[in-house]
Amino acid sequence: MESPTPSRSAAHRVTLARLTGLLEVTRLVRTGGDLESLLPALAAAAAEALGFRSVVINVYEPAWDELRAAAVHGSAEARAALLGSRTTREEWAPLLDPAFEREGCYLLRHGEFDWDEDHSPSYVPDLPRTDDPALWHPADALIVPLLDGRGELLGVVSVDEPVSMRRPADDELHVLAALGSHVAQALEDAIAAAEAQRHRAALEHLLAVSARLTETLAVRPILQSVCEAIRAALGFSHVSVELLDDRAGRTVPEAAVGWSLEEIARSGIDGAALERLLDPLFEVEGCYLLPGEVACERLGVAPGYRTAHNGRGPHAWDHHWLVVPLQGTDGGLAGVIWVDEPEDRLLPSGTRLQTLRTFANQASMAIAAAAAFAEAQYLADHDPLTRLGNRRAFTRQLAQETYRATRYGAPFALVVLDVDGFKGLNDRHGHTAGDAALAAIGAVLQGSLRMGDHAFRLGGDEFALVLDHSGAAEAELVVHRVCEALDALETGEDTSLRASFGVAVGAGETADPEALLRAADAAMYEAKRAGERLRLAP
């Protein structure tokens, strides 16, 4: 058998080195792990596979819209000049001109590009200069873009100082492009792994918050858990939950991380202004993401709190406002979740916003559960129609008043009233009108009382007032106020609301709850029969 010639043996060695290098790159990609520690090994393996002394892996960082030289394999001079340096996408654009494209790589030969126009960090190896078109010139450049599955830029690999000192042929460029695909896969896998880890963390925190929903009906601890979960799972260092206070008409902070409740309280937003932020134009996955200047313009305020974790470029967070509405039990706006200071300085992805919306739904569930529990407790002692105390609450209050009157001699007045002609109103206008009339009477009674007095609906169209530290004269004044308010109600041309009142005063040893109720009730029926407004019990 004829022995291989030296040139053929050299070619075999080169081919074997390429295959070995590519296999090593493939192995490194499959091992995964921390990307920052993986990239130098990839650069070294690439150098071995391609036969280049210098290999630089530049990673695209969307938060800054820049490429960072994350790994440099080569001489100490090359590492000193390039490692950690940053370049913009615009600086790379002329180098990635289609005119330089060959086999998926970009080869810029000496004289084809004016390097004086390029001001990015660079390293020019100390190599012999030659006019031989087959040989490598120190001013030559060879780069391959790293693209993800959608064609988006992940980075750039640049190589220099070929061991052969020759410009690469097409088959060598093909190998470089294949190796670039492997490196791009490593970058894409690292991004996917980070997102998967974030997703797992989000699920764990969602489950933890869900467990708390079944453990307690106290809303503030749950909302605090939501804030902490959003920070841990989604990477926002500042989160707050603010609920609308109907009486104040503004948001009130209930839980927060990164901010104190005191500093949030100073910047509460009224409900009408908040609605201006919740414009469908800015809605993404149930969240509302607005540029900071737009949000301030809509609120009519100057920029106040300024985000620290901002970036640059189309994908960067830049003083944005991100607000997530919380839905109340009536379907209206109950409050909002504010999030700010993304640790990665990026605008949140659709997946991250979906998770944020899920956390908001948990907060809404906590608010609804607490409201339902509070309502159940309230209705144990209150009439659902008029929101006055019910008969159970009346019996308890009357017993307390009679005890104090007997023990301490403090008088009180019991007023019982019955609506005149209520059955006729129901017959003419229906039960809906009757319910509206009862609710109006409840509002009148509540608005006519002094501090310390109590109003109750005993059932049907019968009501009672317990007037603290009062005698007959004080009771008459209250009844007079109630009658004036009833007369002023707008009830329709053929409808008016009148009531008959009976008053019994409890004091000293005469204060007996059942006896007082009977006396006041009897006085009320006497007033009704006589066509009077008020009768005092003897």
Residue-wise pLDDT tens digits, 83-139? 999 999 999 999 999 999 999 999 999 989 988 888 888 888 888 888 889 999 999
Residues of the chain with pLDDT under 70: 1-34, 210, 212-217, 303-305, 427, 490-495, 508-511
Q: What residue ranges in 343-493 does DSSP mark as E strands?
A: 412-420, 454-459, 462-468
Contact 128, 161 (CB under 8 A): no
Q: Tell me which of 3.30.450.40, 3.40.190.10, 3.40.980.10, 1.10.760.10 is the CATH number of domain 6-193.
A: 3.30.450.40
For 293-330, write each residue's pLDDT tens digit. 999 888 887 766 678 889 988 999 999 999 999 988 77
**What Cα–Cα distance (Å) separates residue 166 from each residue in 161, 163, 172, 178, 296?**
9, 8, 11, 20, 60
Partners of 156 in the beta sheet? Answer: 58, 145
Q: What is the pLDDT of residue 12?
A: 45
- The H-assigned helical ranges of 418-512 are 422-429, 431-448, 472-487
Residues in the chain: 538
CATH 3.30.450.40 residue ranges in the chain? 6-193, 216-375
Tell me the CATH class for 216-375.
alpha beta
What pLDDT is attached to residue 267?
72
Residue 279's pLDDT is: 93
* CB proximity list for 326: less than 8 A, separation 6 or greater: 241, 243, 333, 334, 335, 336, 337, 360, 363, 364, 367
pLDDT of 533 reads 87
pLDDT computed for residue 122 by the predictor: 85
Q: Given this model, what pLDDT does residue 17 score?
A: 56
The CATH number that domain 391-536 falls under is 3.30.70.270
Query: Within a 10 A sphere around the Cβ of 174, how many other Cβ atoms?
Result: 15
**Is 340 an annotated catalytic residue?**
no
Question: What pTM was computed for the model?
Answer: 0.70
Query: Given 160, 340, 420, 461, which residue is catalytic?
Result: 461
